[in-house]
Amino acid sequence: MQNSKTIWITGASSGIGEACAYQFAKERFNLILTATRVDKLQEVQCTCVNLGARCVIIPYDLSDLENIDELTDNALAAFGKIDTLFLNAGISQRSKTLDTSFSVDEKIMNVNFFAPVKITKRILPSMIENGGGTIAVTSSISGKFGFPLRSAYASSKFAVYGFFETVHAEYYDNNIRVVMVCPGRIKTNISYNALEADGSKHAKMDEGQNSGMSAEKAAKKIVKAIIKQKPEVLVGGKELLMVYIKRFLPGLSRKMVRRVSST
């Protein structure tokens, strides 16, 4: 039996987004998938359909903020409504603050923060009109504390927390629930696609990323949390301990971050 619920996932062509798409397809959600790579999106769409879901793809580069209203209108038109919005698309960084071009700072903030903000402002009214909905957002443990070579990335993830926790507080009585997805080291292409100081791709898998939790295992935890509308879900390995060290032992946390490997 087809699920009447519809989810829109950004960053759906690989990694956490792709793995979550398959999990939601198994739950028979209607799927709207967005990412930059058309060929890869088509492959993900085919798998989702084979799993029994209805699936529409809308390729888009979220660094283009000017046409996001048109993007969201197309997403809303796909199945007539969006019950769950999973703002998962993101881009990371591998460069020191002073070395990093401001254009790189801008691109990371556009993709990781301003695009989700614009999408949310466009989708939220229809969610409220339909009686409520769920907004899930991929942050990071770097949204909990600053991290070497991640100045723009960490800033974007801190900003995501501030904005969406505010949305949760303001629209809770409208039956809007926000789920903050907070990954540690997950084995995806995020380090490969991360930006260097000049905007070029890092183009290699970091050792820590390569030894991280699989995207498939992470997706099972994330999808369960989204369906249950948990306020926050942490996914990863022993690196998640840093979240609790920062909370309860902030001085120790600052010392550890200064010494930790940046890859």
| Positions marked active-site | 153
- Distance from C-alpha of 112 to C-alpha of 164, rounded to nearest angstrom: 13
141-147: Cβ within 8 A, 24+ apart: 141/182, 141/183, 141/184, 141/234, 141/236, 141/239, 141/240, 141/242, 141/243, 143/182, 144/182, 144/242, 144/243, 144/246, 145/242, 145/243, 145/246, 145/253, 145/257, 146/257, 147/257, 147/260, 147/262
Strand, helix or coil at 31?
A: strand
Sign of CA dihedral 141, 220, 45, 191: positive
CB neighbour class for 129 (10 Å; exposed up to 12, middle 13-18, buried from 19): exposed
- Distance from C-alpha of 55 to C-alpha of 81, rounded to nearest angstrom: 14
Q: Which of 237, 233, 234 is nearest to 210 (CA)?
A: 237
Lateral strand order in the sheet of 84-87: 55-57, 30-34, 6-10, 84-87, 133-138, 176-183, 232-235
- Distance from C-alpha of 26 to C-alpha of 4, rounded to nearest angstrom: 13
Contact 178, 231 (CB under 8 A): yes
